[in-house]
Every structure is written in structure tokens, then in C-alpha cells.
Structure 1
Amino acid sequence: MKRFDKIMMATDFSDNSDYAFDYALALARQFDAELTIVHVINEPADLRGIYVPEITYEELEKEINQGAKDMMAKFCKNKLADYGNYKTVIASGVPFQEIIAKADETGAALIVIGTHGRTGLEHLVFGSTAERVVRAAHCPVLSVRLPVK
């Protein structure tokens, strides 16, 4: 089997991502791999033309970025206390495109991503970031779904 020396984990900080992270960390430990944890801030709609007196678009963007950094720091503190071979990336854009781009930039040998397992109309409306990553990634993708209860 191919050695996964660089593993990338995409997270949206949901329960699904937390569950998938356990797989990513187990594989990183097994292969003594560098683990890159990526969170993509979905680009918000451009609100610059809308008058919102309490906050500017730039302030909103800054708050969103700071919130993502804080969530990533908390995530790493809680999940990676005893694993030091990792780095984090926070990107803005279309999630599946950024995940693939970051995997290419880091030379990831494997992407691990959680999936919500949406079906039917919900899948049609919201789509699936995991499915798009699987279809377009240049390396293997492990898609992990929460167990069905």
C-alpha cells in the first residue's frame, strides 16, 4: 500500500468533521504523517452595496476570520494535544475548490473529509462538498459518514 506521508483533513467543525478527524489522526499516527487541517470560510455574499450601520463589510469579514481562527485553535487544543506533526490552514472561497487547491499546494497524499450523507431534495439543493472533492481531487479521498443510528 502507498505510504500516506501527508494527510489533509477538511473540517467545518461539525460532528461529521469531528468523526472524520478521528480517522485522519489515526492514519497520521500510523504513517507518521504530516497532518494538515483545513477550514474553508465559504465566501459570503458581497454585502458592500447594502447599508448596515452597525458593521462594515470589512469588519464582518475580519470577525468571520477571527472566529474561524479561534475555532481552529480550540479544535487543535482539544484534539491534538499529543500529536505535534500538524499545521492548520484557513482559507476563504468555494469549499471544494479550496480543499483541492490546498491539497495540491501541500502535496497531500490523502484527503479525509466528513460527509453529511444528504439525499434527495436536500442533496440537490445543498450539493455535497465531499462528493465534489472526491470527483475532482488529484489524490485519494477518504469520505467518512457518521454511523447511522
Structure 2
Amino acid sequence: MNFKKILIAVDNSVCSELAAKAGYELASKFNAEVALVNIIEPAPASVNPDFTLAPVFLEAYDNSKENSHLLLEEIANKHGMGIATTYLSIIDTATHGIIQQADEWGAELIVIGTHGRGGIYHFLMGSVAEHVARKSACPVMIIPNKD
């Protein structure tokens, strides 16, 4: 396989740091371009009597978008090795947002980290990485967080 477009899903965690490192190493080997995607989970909606979102929520989303972009820049600067990188920050649920961005950007591979949670938490919540792997149209490389 020769991947030319690699999407790396990141958040502000150790496991996504490992995924970013692995994703950029692959991109370097395949001479591929990278898209870093950070999903901003939607906050519970609060509706004012005039049916608009409360200003606090709008401000929170603005700050989240700004913080998300800063995170993506930091990761690209740390691991990017000069590889062409597209930044994708969107408001969505994690699984849906990652898959949608991979489809829209034309990713040929998704690289994602996993927290490695087990037991009852995994039984109840599942894993974003696992859901992405099941629903993605392209291959998914899951990078485990080994302590």
C-alpha cells in the first residue's frame, strides 16, 4: 500500500501524541500529506426564550475552535518534519466527525490513538478508535497507549 493522504485524529492526550508521531513517520515514508483533525465535542444546548443559543455557549465554541487550532499547530510543529499539513477543527461527535472529515478530505488512512481503557468503562462506552475502525471506508491504524 502506498498512502498519499493520511488523516491523524488528535486530542490533548498522550495516546494522540503517540498517534501523531506514528502518523507523521508513515507520512514521511510514503511522502504523503497529512490532515490533523481535532473534534470539539458539542456542549449540551441551552436555549434562551427567543430560541437562540446562550452567548456563553457561542463564546465557549469560539474558544474551543481557537484552542483546537493551537493544539494542531503545536502537534504539527513537534512531529511534522516539514510535511504538508491541513488543520481540521470541527464541532461534532468524535466518531462521526473523524469519519466525515476523512471522507471529505479523501484520506487513504486514518491514524488514531486509543486510551486502552478496559473493563466496565469499555463495555459501557466502547472506544472511539474501535467505532472509527468499524465505520471507516478506509484503513484505520490504531496506536495503543502502552505505559
Shared fold by TM > 0.5?
yes
SS of the counterpart of 1:56?
A: helix
Paired residue for 1:72?
Answer: 72
In the superposition, the TM-score normalised over structure 1's length comes to 0.87
Per-residue CA distance 1:55-114 (angstroms, 9 max, x = gap): 62211221222221222222222232x323111100111111110111111111100000
> Residue 58 and residue 89 in structure 1: after superposition, are their counterparts in 2 closer, same or farther (change >3 A)?
same
Alignment of 1:79-94 (within 5 A): 79-80=79-80, 82-94=81-93
Q: What is the number of residues matched between the two proteins? A: 142
Select between 65-74 and 3-12 the one with higher mean Cα deviation: 65-74
Residue aligned with 2:43, SS? coil
| Deviant stretches of 4+, over 4 Å | none
- The 1-side partners of 2:66 and 2:85 are apart by 20
Contact 1:111–1:141 at 8 Å: present in 2 too? yes
Contact (CA 8 Å) 1:8, 1:36: kept in 2 or not? Answer: yes
Q: Which stretches in structure 1 are left out of the alignment for 5+ residues?
A: 50-54
Alpha-carbon separation, structure 1, partners of 2:123 and 2:65 = 29
Asked if residue 20 in structure 1 is aligned to residue 55 in structure 2, the reply is no
Any conservation in 1 of the 2:10–2:38 contact (CA below 8 Å)? yes
Q: Secondary structure at the match of 2:2?
A: coil
Asked whether 1:11 is paired with 2:10, we answer yes
CA distance, structure 1, for counterparts of residue 64 and residue 21 of structure 2:
26
Contact 2:43–2:57 (8 Å) recurs in 1: no
For the aligned residues, what is the CA RMSD?
Answer: 1.7
Q: Which amino acid aligns with 1:131?
A: E
Q: Distance in 2 between matches of 1:62 and 1:48?
A: 18
**Residue 48 of structure 1 aligns to a residue in which SS?**
coil
Aligned equivalents of 1:6, 1:42: Cα separation in 2: 25
Counterpart of 1:57? 57
Q: Which residue number in structure 2 is paired with residue 130 of structure 1?
A: 129
- Give the equivalent residue in structure 2 for 1:52: none
* CA distances 1:117-139 after superposition (whole Å, capped 9, x unpaired): 11111113332110000000000
Is the CA contact (8 Å cut-off) linking 1:48 and 1:57 kept in structure 2? no
TM-score, normalised to structure 2's length? 0.89
How far has the Cα of 1:19 moved from its partner? 0.7
Q: Which residue of 1 aligns with 2:42?
A: 43
